[in-house]
Structure 1
């Protein structure tokens, strides 16, 4: 997939400093919601923007998870394609004319319910896979 410079500039993460992103998210959602959604210790134990940024700079997987949250929940951009899921969120492109929407309203309870629903669906898929795979001989 070639990256069109104009499309990349339409990504809300383009040019956004990590510190500014964390501040925006904290100002809108607060530490409790970020902690519940992300499950990062830097959002749980004595959270601060500085300590969170320090951790996120060192942990690429955590930074990418937060950036994906920012795009999907805070800016409500379209879901990534399977191909785009393989790329860091900062490298994803959006066609011109796609504008961010109002942030999704989240509560700790709504996040916990969503996580429980996802876990249940995952368990059901795994159980179905076990039932449909050929049985193995036991020794």
Structure 2
């Protein structure tokens, strides 16, 4: 490798980079109950026979709902860090 071409890795600005939708749902489901999720994000896949599989199917087809779930995920990460007393840098 040429030393001129070796550059430090660029830090991703997207906090969701590399996080799958399934990982997001699993995190939220472990953090909250399905009933709490249904109250926080008003979508039927969280209130009527909720499951990871049915939620993934719906969220992959529905951009507005996916955006709400991703936003809730980022909020929950900020709250966890805040509770631990860490500096929060999620944009």
State the TM-score bracket (shorter-chain normalisation): 0.7 to 0.9
The alpha-carbon deviation at position 45 of structure 1 amounts to 0.3
Q: Deviations over 1:57-97 (max 9, x none)?
A: 0000100011111112x1117xxxxxxxxxxxxxxxxxxxx
Q: Which residue of the partner structure matches residue 62 of structure 1?
A: 65
Tell me, in whole angstroms, the C-alpha distance in 2 between the residues paired with 1:7 and 1:26.
Answer: 26
> Aligned Cα RMSD in Å?
1.9
Query: Normalising to structure 2: TM-score of the pair?
Result: 0.73
Where structure 1 has 5 or more consecutive residues not aligned to the other structure, the ranges are 78-99, 104-139
The structure whose RCO (Cα within 8 Å, separation 6+) is larger is 1
Q: Which secondary structure does the structure 1 equivalent of 2:31 belong to?
A: helix
Tell me, in whole angstroms, the C-alpha distance in 2 between the residues paired with 1:64 and 1:40.
Answer: 12
Cα 1:102–1:50 change in 2 (3 A) is farther
Tell me, in whole angstroms, the C-alpha distance in 2 between the residues paired with 1:16 and 1:51.
Answer: 19
Give the number of equivalent residue pairs: 74
The alpha-carbon deviation at position 20 of structure 1 amounts to 1.0
